[in-house]
Amino acid sequence: MQVHFTPELEAKLAQSAALQGRNPDDLVQEVVARYFDEQSRFIEAVTRGEETLQRGEYLTHEQVGQRIERFLRP
């Protein structure tokens, strides 16, 4: 697979890789892998949140405010 970058982005990639003493190809692979890992974690968190809402396990805005007030009281 080939990926084409703008000259500006390619320069940033080369500079970042050089500063880290790394090969630009390896850096791109790591960044893309991290992106997909984070995307999976985000989707999982949204799914858990939706399931929690469907079960009726949530706090109202007012309840959250009350908890924060209790937490901040001396």
Summarize pLDDT for 4-16 with one digit per residue, the tens.
Answer: 999 999 999 999 9
pTM summary value: 0.71
**Dist. CA 12–CA 57, nearest whole Å:** 45
Residue 2 lies in a domain: no
Residue 24 lies in a domain: yes
Task: Read off the pLDDT of residues 27-73 as tens digits, 9 standing for 90 and up.
Answer: 999 999 999 999 999 999 999 999 999 999 999 999 999 999 999 99
**Dist. CA 30–CA 28, nearest whole Å:** 5
pLDDT of res. 19: 98
Residue 1 lies in a domain: no
**Domain span at 36:** 7-72
pLDDT of res. 74: 84
